[in-house]
Amino acid sequence: MFIPRRLAQALPTLFVVSLLVFFFMDMIPGDPAQMLAGPAATDEEVQSIREFLGLNQPLLTRYGLFLKGLWDPSIATSFRTHRPVAVELAERLPNTLIVAIGGLALGLVVGTVSGVVCALRQGGFAEAIITVLTLTGISMPIYWLGLLCIWFFAVYLGWVPAAGASTPMHFVLPILVVATRPTAMFSRLITASLLEAMSKDYLDTARAKGLSETRVIVSHALRNSLVAAVSVAGVQFGGMLGGSVVTETVFGIPGVGRLLVDAVSRADYPVVQYTILMFAIFFVLINLATDLLTQWLDPRTREERRAA
Amino acid sequence: MTAAMDTMALGATPPRAEARTPRSRWLTLRRIVSQPKGAIGLALVLGYLLLAIFGPMLAPLDPFKQNFAQTLKPPSALHWFGTDQLGRDVFSRILLGARATLGVGVGGVAFAFLVGVPLGVLAAWRRGWFDAIVMRAIDVMLSFPDIVFALAIVAILGANTQNVIIAVGVVSIPIFARTARAVTLSILAEPYVEGLSSLGARPSRIILRHVLPNISGTLLTLSTLLFASTLLSASGLGFLGLGTQPPFPEWGTMLGEARSYIRSHPHLATFPGLFLAGSALAFNLLGDALRTVYDPTSRGVAPRRSWLDRLRRAKVAPAGAPAGEGDAVPALSVRGLRLAFRTPAGLLEVVRGVDLTLQAGRTLAVVGESGSGKTSLLRAVATLATPAQVAVVEGSIAVGGESAVGLSPAALMELRRRKIGVVFQDAASALNPVLTVGAQLAEAVRIGTDLDAAAVRARCVALLEDVGISDPERRLAMYPHQFSGGMKQRIVIAIALAQDPQLLLADEPTSALDVTIQQQILALLRDIQRRRGMAILIVTHDLNLVARFADDVAVMYAGSLVEAGEAAAVLRSPLHPYAQALRSSVPGGSRRGAPLPAIAGEPPMVGSLPGGCAFRPRCERTRGRPECAAREPAARPVDGRLVACHFAEEGRA
């Protein structure tokens, strides 16, 4: 079976990832406990911090504890708040996912439409505009665009709240801003793959059947772009999860990204470790899902899968 | 913030090695500047680089001098971009910050390049365990969102400019390594490189002399695009307060500081953001232009369609259906057809006045060399010639008495559906690889009818049986790649027959198949023609096929018909010198045991035809006679056929 085999392939990656995240603390130059305690700390204080971080236990025990912390929240607690990291993450994850999924969906729809328009109107006015817009979208620092939008829509026009995540209206602006990049990427992808598909004989076969140009494009040319679109969607979704560290700072959303930034600047190492591990697990899962979906969508690879 | 990943998703398709990589640097530069985006991008990039070098010297005021009497002032004559929360001059800080901001980008990309490219090239060269380890390491690194990975590195090493360079550099290593590996692999697989190594060339020499020059274009493009995303990532860290530390200015850090004042003093965020977005745009523009230069697949500027459409409509001759001559309406009637390719240099005539008549139940073969215009003719008759590329300069095409030129899209669809079926040369590419055969066939059956699902299915099964595919019920659920070449061609024929066309067009339908399958397909077409009484127009260069299969033949040379008539007669005793040469160059033709004669000279180049008869330079009959150079011979009836030669009678045996 393919799915278990693909899962088995992902496991070594996850194992190395977990090792990397685990050794994160040992990679910090000097003694993390000393650094956390600060220069003025007494030896006892440094010792107790070391105890708390488990730094004086043997390596294997520490790794075991680290893994155990994945399902036993009492082991993995934040250094600052002393609450289980799992609780901290669970509180914030929904906010992060809402923005990421919303932005991806919006980008997919708008990007596909503009990509089709761009491919069909080559050399026209619409193509020029869309090309400029997509390049701008890709070059735009999200944090700057976010600030501009906050000023315009929230401060100047007063249509939406500027920061926070308490009502659905709070998510409108972040989703719009976050959708910029996926929109631009999908638009370029769809244009490129449509233009490539346009030269294929099977479109002529479809035309010769008497299908309308719209149907030729939607059910033949676009259908073939789907595979590429799925893998870009996977990359974009992962990118958006990662990008949450910036967007959540811009829009003051209490999410996982903001948690990570705060943890890094406050040297809250357990939170940093588990948050990064969670991001990595998400990434591996997204890659897995993307792979499975593309395999399923492309009958040629589906066949290989059956044969293998 | 995964700009790097995006770049990889779109930009890292390794181009084929024979990609016409520009040899000279100046040529590359000219190609970049000849594109608007390239020119703008290059100018902006140069501007930014100058800014980074000279910016700090140009700063009009001390970028660090605080003035609490002058905080958060809007732009003025003294402070062009206003002042920040500590009363410092924003303009001077932006000028000074250019070096840090762009420096981080340059440093990060250089770091990633120097580590990633050798890794990738080595992995491709050594393969084996080294390759496996590199690929696995790349997998692991790509399991982290890049900005999160960079954050982790900054968390480990501490927040300062140097560590940000390392962080954003490390993040890009896998992208460089992966691209370098993929491109190197494709170049190493090139026959000429394989040849070199089998000749005993040293690996290091092959890498230096052949691989590196060929991958440099791709890597240059990738570096430029990555530069834009690295810049944004690095400034993102600055925005989070984890980059260049105050009081040193960096555009991202300045944006981060401006965040607190966005409600009251929006201008503070405007200028650093503008400069940052501008620099990313500059490198993206340049990278896009580079990609166009180095990646041949992204080249090719499509002509303006709307404008050409108008031109086409203006030039089309009044398409009066020339029906009603003789007793029956011919299945196909082409009159005085001239077709031209639209090129940047103007119209290029490929079909120069062709007349054809094809009655129902008959088969007409159009023969000629590659480039003779026969396929353009067929595509025009099939109404598949793209108006943006091919213009009908003059003449008319009528299928079953209905004009096929200058129709509205809806009328065109209707005509294609009811009257025309097309069989393509390469069945493999004529079928959509991601749809089942049943779906593609059902689409052709269903269009323009209101059959229910069961009826459509029954018709599909009947069609597959018609073209000799056994077990049709099961085959409908299969995909094209699960069929052999001959089977695919049968399916294409079934699709073409779905609406009972009066005219079946076939473009070299058997040349991609092996000989025994060719016979089967031809037998099938003949059998179907007999049962349905439709007309077949077949385009081919295979005279044996014509002899066995066609009723009539039209020999095409340089866009016009040089001899047309009954296939048996024309093949037995061709009159036009080209037709004669064509026949005698077929194996098994005239004399056994004699060496096969080849047609002397070069095939004609469209656009640079000689005056007078187009075949003149290769003709053995002309012997410099002035008539041949004076005017192009018109087709005239000789011995029951049409021949376009001033001295056709000399061809009689």
The answer, yes or no, to whether residue B323 has pLDDT greater than 80, is no
Measured between CB atoms, which of A202, A227, A231 is closest to B432? A202
Q: Which residue would you say has higher pLDDT here, B230 or B300?
A: B230
Residues A121 and A54 in one domain: no
Q: From first to last of the 308 residues of chain A, give the pLDDT tens digit.
A: 567 777 787 888 888 888 888 887 777 776 777 777 777 778 888 888 777 777 777 888 888 888 888 878 777 888 778 888 888 888 999 999 999 999 999 999 999 999 888 888 777 788 888 888 998 888 988 888 998 898 888 888 888 887 777 888 889 899 999 999 999 989 988 888 888 887 788 888 888 888 888 888 888 888 878 888 888 888 888 888 888 988 998 898 999 999 998 888 887 888 888 898 898 888 888 888 888 888 888 777 665 544 44
Q: Which residue of A has its CA nearest to B285?
A: A135
Cα(B617)–Cα(B601) distance, integer angstroms: 7
> Which CATH number does the domain housing residue A170 bear?
1.10.3720.10
- The lowest-confidence range among A111-125, A214-228, B180-194, B294-308 is B294-308
Cα(B62)–Cα(B570) distance, integer angstroms: 92
Within-domain flag for A44: yes
Q: Which tokens hold the place of A112? A: 């596909």
Domain ranges of chain B: 1-17+316-428+499-589+596-653, 28-294
Residues of B in contact with A243 (CB under 8 A): 1-2, 145, 147
Half-sphere exposure of B104 (CA within 13 A, CB side): 33
The answer, yes or no, to whether residue B305 has pLDDT greater than 50, is no
The answer to whether B6 contacts A135, with C-beta atoms less than 8 Å apart, is: no
The answer to whether A209 contacts B443, with C-beta atoms less than 8 Å apart, is: yes
* For testing contact with chain B, the best of A19, A134, A145, A201 (most B CBs within 10 A): A201
The class of domain B28-294 in CATH terms is mainly alpha
The answer to whether A155 contacts B10, with C-beta atoms less than 8 Å apart, is: no
Cα(B371)–Cα(B375) distance, integer angstroms: 8
- Residue A176 confidence (pLDDT): 92
Q: For the residues B321-340, what does the mean pLDDT come to? A: 72
pLDDT in tens, B86-120: 778 888 888 888 888 898 989 999 999 999 999 99
Q: Which residue would you say has higher pLDDT here, A308 or B190?
A: B190
How does strand B641-643 pair with strand B636-638? antiparallel
Distance between A286 CA and the closest CA of chain B, angstroms:
10
Residues of A in contact with B410 (CB under 8 A): 212
Residues of A in contact with B422 (CB under 8 A): 204-205, 208
Q: Which tokens hold the place of A233? A: 């969607």
Within-domain flag for A298: no
Within-domain flag for A77: no
The answer to whether B255 contacts A147, with C-beta atoms less than 8 Å apart, is: yes
Calculate what percentage of chain B has a pLDDT beyond 70. Answer: 89
Distance between A10 CA and the closest CA of chain B, angstroms:
9
The answer to whether A209 contacts B444, with C-beta atoms less than 8 Å apart, is: yes
* pLDDT band per the 50, 70, 90 thresholds, residue B588: low
The answer to whether B9 contacts A185, with C-beta atoms less than 8 Å apart, is: yes
- Residue B592 confidence (pLDDT): 56
Within-domain flag for A239: yes
Measured between CB atoms, which of A135, A207, A264 is closest to B284? A135
Residues of B in contact with A236 (CB under 8 A): 2, 6
Beta bridge partners of B343: B346
Residues of A in contact with B460 (CB under 8 A): none
Distance between A72 CA and the closest CA of chain B, angstroms:
23
Measured between CB atoms, which of A122, A202, A272 is closest to B152? A272
pLDDT in tens, B396-430: 899 888 888 878 888 888 888 888 999 988 888 88
- As for how many domains chain A has, the answer is 2
Cα(B515)–Cα(B499) distance, integer angstroms: 29
Domain carrying residue A48 = 2-65
Measured between CB atoms, which of A28, A210, A243 is closest to B2? A243
The answer, yes or no, to whether residue B326 has pLDDT greater than 50, is no
Give Cα separations from B469 to A145, B171, B274, B461 (angstroms).
Answer: 60, 55, 65, 9
Task: Report which of A64, A52, A57, A58 is spatially closest to residue A22, judged by C-alpha positions.
Answer: A64
Residues A108 and A211 in one domain: yes
Look at residues A266, A287, A303 and tell me which one is the last residue of a structural domain.
A266
Task: Report which of A213, A194, A196, A195 is spatially closest to residue A204, judged by C-alpha positions.
Answer: A213
Residues A135 and A189 in one domain: yes
Within-domain flag for A74: no
Q: H-type helices in B189-263, by residue range?
A: 191-198, 203-206, 212-239, 251-258
To 10 degrees, what angle do helices A269-297 and A256-265 make?
A: 140
Residues A34 and A148 in one domain: no
Measured between CB atoms, which of A13, A211, A235 is closest to B5? A235
pLDDT in tens, B240-291: 888 888 788 888 888 888 888 888 888 888 888 999 999 999 999 998 888 8
pLDDT in tens, B441-485: 998 888 878 888 899 999 999 999 888 888 998 999 998 888 988
Residues A16 and A165 in one domain: no
Residues of A in contact with B303 (CB under 8 A): 123
The answer to whether B273 contacts A279, with C-beta atoms less than 8 Å apart, is: no
- Residue B553 confidence (pLDDT): 93
**Mean pLDDT, all residues of chain B:** 82
Residues of A in contact with B384 (CB under 8 A): 204, 207-208
Cα(A36)–Cα(A155) distance, integer angstroms: 39
Beta bridge partners of B324: none
Q: Which residue of B has its CA nearest to A191?
A: B298
The answer to whether A208 contacts B433, with C-beta atoms less than 8 Å apart, is: no
For residue B340, the surrounding DSSP H or E stretch is: strand B332-343
**Cα R_g (chain A), whole angstroms:** 24
Distance between B497 CA and the closest CA of chain A, angstroms:
9
Cα(B263)–Cα(A156) distance, integer angstroms: 9
The answer to whether A265 contacts B241, with C-beta atoms less than 8 Å apart, is: yes
The answer to whether B429 contacts A241, with C-beta atoms less than 8 Å apart, is: no
The answer to whether A188 contacts B10, with C-beta atoms less than 8 Å apart, is: yes
Residues of B in contact with A142 (CB under 8 A): 1, 236
The answer to whether B151 contacts A261, with C-beta atoms less than 8 Å apart, is: yes
- Residue A56 confidence (pLDDT): 77
- Residue B366 confidence (pLDDT): 93
Measured between CB atoms, which of B255, B413, B429 is closest to A200? B429
Residues A6 and A94 in one domain: no
The answer to whether A144 contacts B276, with C-beta atoms less than 8 Å apart, is: yes
Residue B356, helix vs strand vs coil: strand
Within-domain flag for A20: yes
Q: Which residue of B has its CA nearest to A154?
A: B263
Within-domain flag for A70: no
Most confident of A32-46, A122-136, B380-394, B489-503: B489-503
- Residue B19 confidence (pLDDT): 41
Look at residues A247, A266, A285 and tell me which one is the last residue of a structural domain.
A266
* pLDDT band per the 50, 70, 90 thresholds, residue B318: very low
The answer, yes or no, to whether residue B64 has pLDDT greater than 70, is yes
Other beta carbons less than 10 A from residue B468's beta carbon: 17
Residues A18 and A96 in one domain: no
Residues A145 and A225 in one domain: yes
Looking at residue B290, what DSSP letter applies?
Answer: H
The answer to whether B142 contacts A283, with C-beta atoms less than 8 Å apart, is: yes
Give the ipTM of the model, two decimals please: 0.84
**CATH 3.40.50.300 for the B1-17+316-428+499-589+596-653 domain, yes or no:** yes
- Omega cis (within 30) before B247: yes
Residues of A in contact with B267 (CB under 8 A): none
The answer to whether A224 contacts B255, with C-beta atoms less than 8 Å apart, is: no
The answer to whether A209 contacts B499, with C-beta atoms less than 8 Å apart, is: yes
Q: Which residue of B has its CA nearest to A153?
A: B263
Question: CA geometry: angle at B609 spanning B604 and B612, to 5°?
Answer: 120
- The lowest-confidence range among B5-19, B48-62, B347-361, B629-643 is B5-19
The answer to whether A239 contacts B306, with C-beta atoms less than 8 Å apart, is: no
- Residue A302 confidence (pLDDT): 60
Measured between CB atoms, which of B270, B272, B382 is closest to A208? B382
- Residue A2 confidence (pLDDT): 66
- Residue B4 confidence (pLDDT): 42
The answer to whether B148 contacts A210, with C-beta atoms less than 8 Å apart, is: no
